[in-house]
Amino acid sequence: MSLSSIRHHSSRLSRPCVQKQFSTHVNPVFRPDNAVPTTDAKGFQKRERSEEGRYAREKEVAEIKELRDELARQKAKIEKLENS
């Protein structure tokens, strides 16, 4: 019982403060938990995209090297057949 009376008393005391806090939280500009995750998420998405791009480039480079090696083997076979 004493807890509820204390809670009621404290809410009556800090009423202007609570209203002020509520009014700042209604405005999305001043809400800190609204601003921070979006910038973090954007940064993460950019980082993730750059990693995907890097992975794609590395994969392309590996494929090009394989094709170059295959082409060299085919040319060697052709030369061998032409010489014999």
- In this structure, is residue 10 part of a structural domain? no
pLDDT band of residue 77 (cuts 50, 70, 90) is very high
Q: Which residue has the higher pLDDT, 71 or 26?
A: 71
- On average, the pLDDT of the chain sits at 71
- In this structure, is residue 36 part of a structural domain? no
- In this structure, is residue 68 part of a structural domain? yes
Q: What is the extent of the structural domain holding 76?
A: 42-83
What is the per-residue DSSP string for the chain?
-HHHHHHHHHHHHTHHHHHHHHHHHHSGGG-HHHHHHHHHHHHHHHHHHHHHHHHHHHHHHHHHHHHHHHHHHHHHHHHHHHH-
- In this structure, is residue 23 part of a structural domain? no
First to last CA, the chain: 105
Q: List, for residues 41-74, the tens digit of each pLDDT value.
A: 566 666 677 778 888 899 999 999 999 999 999 9
- In this structure, is residue 74 part of a structural domain? yes
- In this structure, is residue 4 part of a structural domain? no
pLDDT band of residue 16 (cuts 50, 70, 90) is low
Count of domains observed in the chain: 1
- In this structure, is residue 52 part of a structural domain? yes
Whether residue 19 contacts residue 26, with contact meaning beta carbons closer than 8 Å, is answered with no
- In this structure, is residue 14 part of a structural domain? no
